[in-house]
Structure 1
Amino acid sequence: MQSGIVGGSTSRTLDINEFRAFVMIDEYVPLIFINATDSPRAKIFSLCHELVHIWLGIDELYNDIFTANRTFNNEKLEIFCNEVAAEILLPKQLLKNIYDKQEDVNVNINNISKRYSVSKLVTCIRMKNVNLINKKTFDSVYANLLENIEENFSKEKQNDQSNSGGNFYNLLGSRLDPRFVHSVNRKAREGSILYTEAYELVGAKGKTYDKLMDHMEGRCN
């Protein structure tokens, strides 16, 4: 699941400084929740991070921000999940093979980040961890990346506020897995669950529910 707001209130956005993602472990249907206000590449990393938690069978709030030092309930576990997520997205051997020693470190970061949909921060950290750049270079480049990210985030937030609105059903549909919606609607039509329960499960009721079903039709294929 993903959402960037509390319930259906567009005025109550989810702050990535509070959490980026979390996972609820369940033997039958584990759940990963992604903060939709995060950047696309950061969401991909969060997804991989939480997937590792599922593999391990240990749930833990992923609440890592880049501008402050945080203490986790299990710091070693979080570091391990980050390392595995980084290896999934940017394997060590692959990174060593594609790193161009003839190019500037920033050029390498930009090229690799775009090609493999990994954030520049993760790419930079990965380069340091596999010894492609030294600590001095890392500290300098990382600080600049942080500054640029904070500036871009502020601009994006201002643009989002000035361009608020959009299609309600596109927004609601983006927060739901089409297969889940299809399953809920089928159960409601069969009488296996009450429509009031179906309304609660998808976050829409009455005519809004019917319109959402029409909007989602075919997306589960």
Structure 2
Amino acid sequence: MRPPPRRPAERRRRVAEDGWSRGTVFGELYAQEEERVLALFAETKENRSGGGNFYNVQSQRLSRQFARAVVASAREGGTSYRDAYKLLGTKKHSTFEALAERVGTH
């Protein structure tokens, strides 16, 4: 077995030597798979509603422990709500409370 090629030109030459160029069976299968994937992507894109879920995104951006600590500190008076909103990426109190509920603080 040959070692893997190091240069792009060598890779292309080996692909052509081995019969894996676009005009062969590989090329046909590749084109079919590409068409299938693009159709799937277009179908998925059409069925999506506009935008993601803020609470799911925020829970991925922030650690649960950090969010709980900020919420607890704001409720105890150690951190102003203005600063807590900035730290958690919220603007309204209702969003802050919904996020607090989502991360498990009551």
Post-superposition offset of 1:194: 2.2
Matched, 1:210 2:97: yes
Structure number with greater Rg is 2
Where does structure 1 lack aligned partners over 5 or more consecutive residues?
1-133
Question: What secondary structure does 2:54 align onto?
Answer: helix
| TM-score, L = length of structure 2 | 0.53
Structure (1/2) with the larger strand percentage: 1
Closer/same/farther in 2, CA of residues 183 and 143 from structure 1, 3 Å limit: farther
Q: With structure 1 as the length reference, what TM-score do the two structures score?
A: 0.29
Q: In the TM superposition, what is the alpha-carbon distance from 1:195 to its structure 2 partner?
A: 1.3
Q: Which runs of 5+ in 2 are unaligned?
A: 1-17
- 1:180 paired residue among 59, 62, 66: 66
1:196 and 2:45 matched: no
Tell which has more relative contact order, 1 or 2 (C-alpha 8 A, sep 6+): 2
Query: More helix per residue: 1 or 2?
Result: 2
For residue 197 of structure 1, report the CA deviation from its aligned partner.
1.9
Q: How far apart, CA to CA, are the structure 1 residues paired with 2:81 and 2:98? A: 14
Alpha-carbon RMSD: 3.1
In 2 relative to 1, CA 181–144 (structure 1 residues): closer, same or farther, beyond 3 Å?
A: farther
- Equivalenced residue count is 79
Q: Percent identity?
A: 28
